[in-house]
Amino acid sequence: MLRSMVAALACSCATAPPAPVTTTSAELVRDAEQRATLAESVTTRTKSDCEEAKRELDKLRERDNFEQSIWIRLEQADLTVHLLADLLPRGTPEQKKTIQRAIGESLGLRAAVERRLRRVHAVSDSAWRAFERETSAAMDDLERALTPLL
């Protein structure tokens, strides 16, 4: 009995006509155009994403370079403070007073620059140029406070 059912199913499958194909050439063309439009959209979006990623990377590099240059300048200022501290015991009373004042002033300026520098990656894009200018100016003030004493 099972064999007869399988045979009947096999016969009915073999004799069933194929499903009619109603796809016209216009539909094929429209389908190809839709696929091309989708591919172009994906390509455009990918290019746009790449350009945005490049801009973000450039911005990050700029901030990293700025941060590194200010840290280097801070290290140089620290060396100057140490040199001045070494000169302190050999100076005249007036020189000692000037050196102590300069070292005290420089510590406050250094702390201000360092606080600013720690925010370098938190500053918004719109505020970046002003932040960069102000931080450089604060670093210049620190260097000016120490330089004439050497």
Pair 143, 73: CB distance under 8 Å = yes
Q: Which pTM value belongs to this model?
A: 0.68
The whole-chain average pLDDT of the chain stands at: 85
Residue 2 pLDDT greater than 60, yes or no: no
| Crossing angle (nearest 10°) for helices 93-117 and 128-146 | 160
Pair 77, 110: CB distance under 8 Å = yes
Question: What residue spans define the domains of the chain?
Answer: 40-149
Pair 61, 121: CB distance under 8 Å = no
CA distance 126 to 53: 18
CA distance 106 to 82: 12
Residue 55 pLDDT greater than 80, yes or no: yes
